[in-house]
């Protein structure tokens, strides 16, 4: 499987504005009216993690070890290092990882550079998997499927994951809207390719392309990868009062 095209913009965000690339709040970019400071950025991670953890503990989480997919500049990684005995933080951007290393001083954290779909860990070596604001930027559902397959490989039996991703389900006329959405998706893909070329030339800033996940996709695909007890939870984070949808699942024992 070739490296996903969406890797390009994420690596670029790591070069030009790693904090805004992770937390894209209005006015918080480097040249914005109120750019992120390191203190604010990591405080945001602390606040959001308190919301995330409450729901994960309610579902069930083992604090023995954790893989974080898409650690970015370490907004949540710092919090994971205080909760889990062992943390493996994965990202495709070397610049993002270098930024995180400068601000996270914990012997429990090991950083890994990924190619965008392989997880460089041994099979059944991790008890828990976490990711937030990452799966929404994947190039396609096929990239997400590759990650779910890899998660299934590295996670231990009865281990759980908590993954943030945008979801949808058509209430009526499902076939009609699915076809329309597919057409729109092809148009957006072509636009993304064009903007990436302009980004390579330094004409535009990196894009933030969004991939949505149909509820049926999760309930159809995840059991095929060996997961059950699948739950979707939507809750508001205190930091910005924004609803966050997460999918939880457990690896079959």
Tell me, what DSSP letter sits at residue 36?
P
pLDDT attached to residue 154 = 98
pLDDT attached to residue 8 = 83
Q: Where are the domains of the chain?
A: 7-171+207-251
211, 144 contact by CB (below 8 A):
yes
pLDDT attached to residue 173 = 67
Q: How far is CA 38 from CA 95, 124, 199, 235, 242, in A?
A: 15, 35, 26, 26, 22
Q: How far is CA 227 from CA 12, 128, 129, 149, 160, in A?
A: 34, 13, 13, 10, 9
Given CATH 3.40.50.150, say whether it is the number of domain 7-171+207-251. Answer: yes
Distance CA 113, CA 34 (A): 30
Q: Taking the chain (253 residues) in consecutive chunks of 10 residues, what is each chunk's mean pLDDT?
A: 77 93 95 96 98 98 98 98 98 97 95 92 98 92 94 98 93 74 75 74 74 94 98 97 97 93
Distance CA 89, CA 76 (A): 10
Q: Please list, in sequence order, all residues whose beta carbon lies within 8 angstroms of the beta carbon of residue 141, skipping any fewer than 6 positions away.
A: 211, 213, 217
Report DSSP letters for 87-111, one per residue. Answer: EEEEES-HHHHHHHHHH---TTEEE
For residue 5, give both structure tokens.
């095209």
Distance CA 68, CA 190 (A): 30
């Amino acid at each position: 499987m070739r490296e996903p095209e969406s890797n390009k913009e994420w690596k670029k965000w790591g070069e030009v504005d790693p904090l805004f690339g992770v937390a894209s709040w209005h006015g918080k970019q480097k040249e914005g009216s109120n750019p992120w400071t390191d203190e604010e950025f990591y405080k945001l991670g602390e606040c959001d993690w308190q919301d995330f953890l409450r729901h994960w503990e309610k579902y069930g989480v083992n604090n023995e070890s954790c893989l974080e997919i898409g650690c970015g500049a370490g907004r949540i990684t710092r919090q994971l290092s205080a909760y889990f005995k062992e943390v493996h933080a994965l990202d495709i951007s070397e610049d993002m990882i270098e930024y995180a290393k400068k601000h996270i001083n914990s012997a429990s954290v090991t950083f890994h550079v990924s190619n965008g779909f392989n997880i460089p860990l041994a099979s059944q070596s991790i008890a828990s998997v976490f990711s937030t604001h990452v799966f929404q930027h994947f190039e396609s559902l096929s990239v997400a499927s590759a990650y779910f397959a890899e998660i299934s490989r590295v996670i231990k039996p009865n281990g759980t994951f908590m993954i943030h991703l945008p979801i949808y389900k058509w209430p009526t006329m499902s076939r009609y809207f699915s076809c329309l959405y597919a057409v729109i998706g092809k148009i957006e893909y072509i636009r993304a390719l064009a903007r990436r070329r302009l980004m390579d030339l330094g004409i535009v800033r990196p894009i933030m392309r969004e991939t949505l996940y149909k509820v049926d996709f999760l309930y159809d695909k995840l059991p095929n990868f060996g997961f059950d007890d699948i739950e979707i939870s939507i809750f508001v984070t205190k930091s910005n009062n924004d609803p966050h949808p997460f999918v939880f699942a457990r690896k079959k024992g």
